[in-house]
Structure 1
Amino acid sequence: MEPLPQLLIVDDEPINIQMLSAALKDSYRIRFATRAEQALDLACRFVPDLILLDVIMPGKSGYDLCRELKSTPGLANVPVIFVTGRTGREDEAHGLAVGGADYLFKPVHPKIVKARVDNHIMLKRYRERLELLAMQDALTEVGNHRRFEMTLEQEWSRLKRTGRPLTLLILDVDHFRHYNETYGLPEGDRCLQGIARELRQCMRRPLDLVCRIGGASFACLLPETERHGAAVVAEGIREMIAGLEMPHQGSPIGPFVTLSIGVAVAEQVVGLEATGLIGAADESLYQAKTEGRNRVGDLRILNEAEPVPVPPSPQKAEIHESDAI
């Protein structure tokens, strides 16, 4: 059964929170905050499906909070409905201008607020389905390169806020050019589809993500996965694909389809960029390939207290797009 959508109610008056909760609790999971700072923290941690926001609160106003939400990666597309006693047309126009999706005047009728929330949740779900299609690889039905880049940006921002590690795996099908030459392009497509299905099975938590980032290259993003877990997952994936024993007569390293995997973990990265994590994983992948393939490269660590890995040369960076070595 699909979980109920999450709402965040932000109001400094408990009676208003109680009234809105009573109207919505049967259809939604409710969290609430009484201050803007508390609301932003909750939104970053739980990413609600919709926010009901008062305008006048102690400290930061609802307008200011809405601006901040719309500039925060991962929260910009969360609809905000202002629920306020400020009934002037200029107030309403200002609320919409700063990013509000709707504007309700207090006192609100429970059926009206429920209908407005239902409508905006439905529209959000529809937009998400369209966006997902736009960020899905047509052949394998996993994420495409665009989704990888967008998700990495979001997870990098979260890593900076929380300090929780982020693991990146870059995976290459070994000698895939020879596979296509041996079996033909249609069979090559079926091979990639099968690998993608298996990789999806390995992404067991809601935030884990697999994307196809090149011809025979995949990337796995594993939020909140530390060093030991990264190595275990990478080796488990390599063994799983090898264990399928998919024939590969064109491979010079064995009779079956295999993977080479680069693995990197970002830890404390306040002063670093996400491109460093990609460079570190690429270096690990390059090592796995030069040492014979069908293996996991040495784990690379990205930490602001440690030297940043040198980004790979263009030849190394493109190695997961070809069988150059």
Structure 2
Amino acid sequence: MLQELADKPTILLVDDEKANLKILTDLLKPNAKTLVAKSGAQALQKAKDLFPDIILLDVVMPDMDGFEVIKKLKSDPSTQSIPVIFITGLTDVNFEEKGLELGACDYIQKPFHAAIVRARVQLHLQLLRQRRMLEELALIDPLTTIANRRKFEQVIDIELRSAMRTGEPLSIAVIDIDFFKQFNDTAGHSAGDMALAEVANGIQSQLKRPRDFVARIGGEEFVVVLPNTDSVSADMLLNQCRSAVASLKIPHPTATPYQVVTISSGGITCKPSSLSDKDDILNRADNMLYEAKNTGRNQVLWDELPN
């Protein structure tokens, strides 16, 4: 699902003058949620804690000027992507050039002109929407419309850190479509593409919790990540995915034992004390998948790392 801005985007207004903050708040609040900071230090903390959609930043402030603030914003991975519009009464083009070189996306001059403030803020919010859509599309597998390997790499990093922090078990499964090369060779690549999309949908339909995750990581291979899931529950869920795919009854044109498209799965459950790096965990799940494929297919085999 594409990430959208909220109905009312959040704008952080940074100025040491209360009068300026009031003017900007009154101008923008009909169409946005406004936050205020009266110093550079406050701005940095609120940007990191609240992650606004856009920041309007005064250049001249007593404790830390806007140039120093934007340097710190752009050097922090958690805030570097937030668009910054400078607000200033300075007319020297050298100041404007410096701000743009530091990463500002625009300037708004004081005294404020209401129509210009609204127009420029709306322009950059629209550009932000478009950028986020492109970023999300880059994480989607276009054939199946589920997540791709790049997104999986992001998710597994997050869930590994979460499991280490909370002490919850983490289960990961690798799934492969049985005899898919023969399916493609016999039915054709167009039918193969349709089968991939149907299988992806069948797997995803069984993942009910918000953090349960599936991605296509290459060819006919998928990966499922199940946070806070023990081995018994994970095995049960992957068998539900296996049954869901078989129940699609996609005809397999070669002489397979089941005459329909099926999947094999191999999985691993890790406890925080046994967590290794993601490549090791994925390799262990892969090993279970190969065993499942070599001992009959259309089955789930599961392992659990010892504490």
Question: TM-score surpassing 0.5?
Answer: yes
Query: How much has 1:232 moved relative to structure 2?
Result: 4.9
User: 2:263 is matched with which residue: 254, 258, 261?
Assistant: 258
Greater C-alpha radius of gyration: 2
User: 2:70 is matched with which residue: 44, 66, 80?
Assistant: 66
Residue equivalent to 2:195:
191
Q: Secondary structure at the match of 1:77?
A: coil
- The amino acid of 1:171's aligned partner reads V
Q: Secondary structure at the match of 1:108?
A: coil
Give the conservation status (yes or no) of the 8 Å contact 2:230–2:269: no
TM-score (norm 2): 0.71
Residue equivalent to 2:109:
105
Matched, 1:282 2:283: yes
Give the conservation status (yes or no) of the 8 Å contact 1:242–1:256: no
Give the conservation status (yes or no) of the 8 Å contact 1:263–1:284: yes
User: 2:57 is matched with which residue: 33, 36, 53?
Assistant: 53
Query: How much has 1:62 moved relative to structure 2?
Result: 3.0
Give the conservation status (yes or no) of the 8 Å contact 2:10–2:52: yes
CA RMSD of aligned residues (A): 4.3
Residue equivalent to 2:229:
228
User: 1:295 is matched with which residue: 296, 300, 304?
Assistant: 300
Alignment of 1:129-208 (within 5 A): 129-149=133-153, 151-152=154-155, 155=158, 169=172, 171-175=174-178, 176-181=180-185, 183-199=187-203, 202=207, 205=210
Matched, 1:246 2:209: no
* Counterpart Cα distance in 2 of 1:13 and 1:154: 42
Query: How much has 1:264 moved relative to structure 2?
Result: 6.6
Query: How much has 1:218 moved relative to structure 2?
Result: 2.8
* Counterpart Cα distance in 2 of 1:41 and 1:233: 40
Q: Secondary structure at the match of 2:181?
A: helix
Query: How much has 1:133 moved relative to structure 2?
Result: 4.1
Query: How much has 1:113 moved relative to structure 2?
Result: 1.4
* Counterpart Cα distance in 2 of 1:30 and 1:44: 16
* Counterpart Cα distance in 2 of 1:47 and 1:136: 24
Matched, 1:80 2:78: no
* Counterpart Cα distance in 1 of 2:265 and 2:142: 23
Residue equivalent to 1:317:
none
Give the conservation status (yes or no) of the 8 Å contact 1:136–1:144: yes
Q: Secondary structure at the match of 1:213?
A: strand
Query: How much has 1:104 moved relative to structure 2?
Result: 1.7
Percent identical among aligned pairs is: 31
* Counterpart Cα distance in 1 of 2:39 and 2:212: 31
* Counterpart Cα distance in 1 of 2:18 and 2:269: 46
- The amino acid of 2:265's aligned partner reads S
- The amino acid of 1:240's aligned partner reads C
Query: How much has 1:159 moved relative to structure 2?
Result: 5.2
- The amino acid of 1:173's aligned partner reads D
Deviations 1:6-28 (A, max 9, x none): 32333344443333222122222
- The amino acid of 1:17's aligned partner reads L
Q: Secondary structure at the match of 2:278?
A: helix
* Counterpart Cα distance in 1 of 2:39 and 2:131: 29
1:33 to 1:276, Cα distance in 2 relative to 1, 3 A: farther
Q: Secondary structure at the match of 1:137?
A: coil
- The amino acid of 1:283's aligned partner reads R
Query: How much has 1:192 moved relative to structure 2?
Result: 1.2
Residue equivalent to 1:215:
219
Give the conservation status (yes or no) of the 8 Å contact 1:23–1:111: no
- The amino acid of 2:184's aligned partner reads N
Give the conservation status (yes or no) of the 8 Å contact 2:14–2:38: yes
* Counterpart Cα distance in 1 of 2:112 and 2:230: 49
* Counterpart Cα distance in 1 of 2:235 and 2:18: 48
Between the two proteins, the alignment pairs up a number of residues equal to: 290
Deviations 1:251-296 (A, max 9, x none): 569965234154577979xxx9xx9224323323323442556326
Deviations 1:130-154 (A, max 9, x none): 44444433321234334545x4599
* Counterpart Cα distance in 2 of 1:62 and 1:289: 57
TM-score (norm 1): 0.68
With 163-172 and 19-28 compared, the bigger mean Cα shift is at 163-172
Give the conservation status (yes or no) of the 8 Å contact 1:8–1:30: yes
User: 2:100 is matched with which residue: 87, 96, 101?
Assistant: 96
- The amino acid of 2:116's aligned partner reads I
Query: How much has 1:194 moved relative to structure 2?
Result: 1.5
1:229 to 1:101, Cα distance in 2 relative to 1, 3 A: farther
* Counterpart Cα distance in 1 of 2:20 and 2:304: 52
- The amino acid of 1:281's aligned partner reads L
Give the conservation status (yes or no) of the 8 Å contact 1:230–1:263: yes
* Counterpart Cα distance in 2 of 1:231 and 1:51: 48
